[in-house]
Structure 1
Amino acid sequence: MSSTPQRPARVKSEKTAVFRVLAFLLLPAMTLLSKYKLHDAHNVPARGAFVLSPNHYSNIDPIVIGVGMWKIGRMPRYMAKASLFTVPLLGWLLTKSGQVPVQRASRSREGGDPMKAVRQIANQGLAVVVYPEGSLTREPDMWPMRGKNGAVRTALEAGIPLIPAASWGAQEILPRYSKRISIFPRKTVHIRFGEPVDLSQFEGRHLDSRVLAEATEKLMTAITELLEELRGETAPKVRYNPADHGQSEVGRFEQR
């Protein structure tokens, strides 16, 4: 498996004091747990807004992707559980770094519309990370499952690049649904960044459910192909849909 040389950070201004504090708190531990191999980092825009859409198979994924983005020089904004914003210090850091609070249970008035906040961040020329699966994949072998349309809708409405990404190795640090981190031996996490998804065929069209579903499937195919390269395996031909297996996409679930 080849990897491209790491690209020097060219947008240093994004590494604000708050992000440097977060890096100070997280990077030493994450470096102890794993080394990171970035592949095709040149596909990540050096400046300007874009949506990054990775696969999701471990609760530590956002931190892993955050480490990768830090190394590239772009600071990510995520949608995070609203409850985290009430935690002393952590909530302050999340707010000051521009993360988006989301009420998971319902679209309460307090939570507002998270996608509206994401679009506002994109309009500011920043990087937004949107996991199209919405939750940890239910696919038994951790291949990407059915996607939701938030990522493609944001990219199309804002007119910005949609970058697919895939990571592999985070499950060795924190297995799916587990709360126990594996410290030794040190792991290796690979992150591959794809070329922007070509959404030109959808531009200017009414973004109804059919159009968004087609665009989302195109994104999920790109993510899956990147993951196939990292794993050296072939994904199932049929995209996994939890509804077909009587599974909820909310909460913990383990294949038995």
Structure 2
Amino acid sequence: MRRRGPVFEKANGWIRFCEFVMFPLTRVLGRRSFEGLEVVAIPGPVLVVANHISQLDPVYTAVYLRKSGRLPHIMAKASLFRIPVVGKILTGTGMIPVERGGGQGQVGLEAAIKMLHDGHMVLIYPDGTVTRDPDQWPMKPRPGVAAMALSGDFPVIPVVHWGTQEVYVPYVKGGFHPLPRKNIRVVAGPPVDLSAFRGRPVDARLIRDVSYVIQGAVRDLLGEVRGETPPVEFYDQKKADRLRARAEAAGTAANIETVVATDPVAAVEPAAEKKDR
């Protein structure tokens, strides 16, 4: 398969194997549309930030970025690397394992930053997992995305998917529905303008503000792709979990939807706050 791009990077055997499988797979699973490839087809370090609406997203993101000529290094849950065969493939393709909890995530973060400083492209999903937002908008971002973006002066480019959630419905048993074939769009937007934040002392406030600006760019691009006005606030999974636990303890609600119906702003996080937590 011939691919064009000003920054085409050589692939090893593991990557070629994945290309052999994943390139046709993305066509079989849906009618894919790749837009804005020229935005990511640039040399040097690039941090790609993407929304996460389905477990299929990494497949489409990887193929999309590879079509631009780049070799993306994707940050993924460390537990995946411990699965036989799968772990070898992930390691062989240059994916970055990220441990969760207990402060272990710092190791993966440092590895990703080193990749950027070495001139590579790194992909991160700021949500940290498939979104739990009831309307599938991006959630409150994790701070790691801001730490990476502030580690150097390189482009931070938003990429969004829409349609993958209809093929593989997240968190639903038997949620794989490839037929009838769905339209799947992957779109890159212009780099996020972080000039106002660069050169400032890095503290908790700056990390929070930058992470919200980056996630806001992802959210707004997704709104354009969906043709809808996105929410101003980010869904906060931790708040939602607390609401659910409170409701269950009180015996007043069986699920979070009931709680949110009575308190619609309780499970969202303001996109920009006035003071530090």
* TM exceeding 0.5: yes
Q: Identity percentage over the alignment? A: 34
Which of residues 163, 173, 179 in structure 2 aligns to 1:169?
163
Distance 1:72 1:185 in 2: 28
- Equivalent position of 1:245 in the other structure: 240
Q: Partner letter of residue 197 of structure 1?
A: V
Distance 2:181 2:242 in 1: 34
Deviation at 1:50, TM superposition (A): 0.7
Deviation at 1:240, TM superposition (A): 2.0
Q: Does 1:212 align with 2:212?
A: no
TM-score w.r.t. length of structure 2? 0.80
- Equivalent position of 2:135 in the other structure: 141
- Equivalent position of 1:94 in the other structure: 90
Please say which structure displays the higher CA radius of gyration: 2
Deviation at 1:242, TM superposition (A): 2.5
Preserved contact between residue 35 and residue 187 of structure 1 (Cα < 8 Å): yes
**Structure 2 residue matching 1:157: 3-state secondary structure:** coil
RMSD between superposed Cα atoms in Å: 2.1
- Equivalent position of 1:151 in the other structure: 145
Distance 1:58 1:247 in 2: 24
Q: Which is further off, 128-137 or 97-106?
A: 97-106
Distance 2:31 2:11 in 1: 21
Deviation at 1:255, TM superposition (A): 5.5
Aligned residues: 243
Deviation at 1:159, TM superposition (A): 2.1
- Equivalent position of 2:108 in the other structure: 114
5+ residue gaps, structure 2, are 244-254, 258-277
- Equivalent position of 1:16 in the other structure: 12
Distance 2:70 2:44 in 1: 10
Q: Which is further off, 8-17 or 210-219?
A: 8-17
5+ residue gaps, structure 1, are 1-6, 249-253
- Equivalent position of 1:77 in the other structure: 73
Which of residues 172, 194, 199 in structure 2 aligns to 1:199?
194
**Structure 2 residue matching 1:21: 3-state secondary structure:** helix
Residues 1:255 and 1:177: Cα distance change in structure 2 (over 3 Å)? farther
- Equivalent position of 1:46 in the other structure: 42
Residues 1:14 and 1:255: Cα distance change in structure 2 (over 3 Å)? farther
Which of residues 4, 7, 24 in structure 2 aligns to 1:28?
24
Q: Does 1:181 align with 2:169?
A: no
Which of residues 64, 87, 94 in structure 2 aligns to 1:68?
64
Distance 2:167 2:205 in 1: 38
Distance 1:27 1:56 in 2: 20
Deviation at 1:79, TM superposition (A): 1.8
Q: Partner letter of residue 214 of structure 1?
A: D
Deviation at 1:40, TM superposition (A): 2.0
Preserved contact between residue 45 and residue 116 of structure 2 (Cα < 8 Å): yes
Report Cα offsets for 1:211-243 as digits up to 9, x if no partner: 111111111221111111111111123222223
Distance 2:256 2:228 in 1: 21
**Structure 2 residue matching 1:171: 3-state secondary structure:** helix
Q: Partner letter of residue 231 of structure 2?
A: P
Preserved contact between residue 98 and residue 109 of structure 2 (Cα < 8 Å): no
Higher relative CO (Cα under 8 Å, sequence separation at least 6) belongs to 1
Residues 1:127 and 1:246: Cα distance change in structure 2 (over 3 Å)? same
Distance 1:169 1:163 in 2: 20
Report Cα offsets for 1:89-124 as digits up to 9, x if no partner: 32222112211122234445xx76110010111122
Distance 2:239 2:84 in 1: 41
Residues 1:129 and 1:187: Cα distance change in structure 2 (over 3 Å)? same
Q: Partner letter of residue 199 of structure 2?
A: G
TM-score w.r.t. length of structure 1? 0.86
